[in-house]
A and B are shown apart, each in its own frame.
Chain A
Amino acid sequence: DVKVTQSSRYLVKRTGEKVFLECVQDMDHENMFWYRQDPGLGLRLIYFSYDVKMKEKGDIPEGYSVSREKKERFSLILESASTNQTSMYLCASSGTVQGLYEQYFGPGTRLTVT
């Protein structure tokens, strides 16, 4: 079974703090993704990575950065957390099976910034 794990299910941080969200996958997938999910807005892509040390901006990268030093681990960093970054954060990974890229999601981290 594919497993994508995230470091925390719930996190509460103060405005201005630096926040690290960690994601680990055990399927040797090339691609990893960070999304945020807000009511009525669906899943919006923050960043994705298609290889170690490679990253590309998604639709809403402002205020975020990422790090991928190892293939199995993809970190999302909020340099200075703000209240408008309160959200559910979902990590996903995908690798090709017969040319198709099915995404597997982690359980999510609900971040509250006060």
Chain B
Amino acid sequence: QQPVQSPQAVILREGEDAVINCSSSKALYSVHWYRQKHGEAPVFLMILLKGGEQKGHEKISASFNEKKQQSSLYLTASQLSYSGTYFCGTENYGGSQGNLIFGKGTKLSVKP
């Protein structure tokens, strides 16, 4: 039931792009993305609803493919401040509203 994130870790140079994927075996109502910097609490990035909607936050955007039951997070022209662990949280149909199931996270390291 826990969504699967890939890759588990990625190392980038400043300015490079990355894609983080989140896949579920269950039908999804929404997907939430969070970023957690070392020693800090997770911080909300964006929510995506069914319909293939895309959202953006700074140079970070995401898509949601309801049919494939997956979401992808796109980090463009990465900056040092993008380093951290990214979590997707999925909300399933039939689940309690607002109750998310989180993936194990993807650790992103951006080097100068």
Contact = CB atoms under 8 A, between A and B. Distances in A.
B62 to A, nearest CB: 14
Interface stretch (A13-21, A36-44, A64-72): A36-44
Q: Which 3 A-B pairs have the closest CB atoms?
A: A101-B98, A42-B104, A105-B41
Interface string A6-45: 0000000000000000000000001101010000111111
22 contacts: A30-B98, A31-B97, A42-B102, A42-B103, A42-B104, A43-B102, A44-B102, A45-B99, A45-B102, A50-B97, A50-B98, A90-B41, A90-B42, A94-B98, A100-B49, A101-B91, A103-B32, A103-B89, A103-B98, A103-B100, A105-B43, A108-B41
Interface of A: 4, 30-31, 33, 35, 40-45, 48, 50, 56, 59, 90, 94, 96, 100-108
Contact of A48 (B89, B99, B102): B99
B81 to A, nearest CB: 19
Contact of A50 (B43, B96, B102): B96
Interface of B: 2, 30, 32, 34, 40-44, 47, 49, 87, 89, 91, 96-105
Contacts of A45: 99-102
Question: Which DSSP category, helix, strand, loop or mixed, fits chain A's interface?
Answer: strand
Given A56-B96, A106-B41, A107-B40, A100 B104 contact: no
B43, B96, B102, B103 — most chain A CB neighbours (10 Å): B102
A94 B87 CA distance: 17
Contact of A42 (B40, B47, B87): B87
Contacts of B49: 100
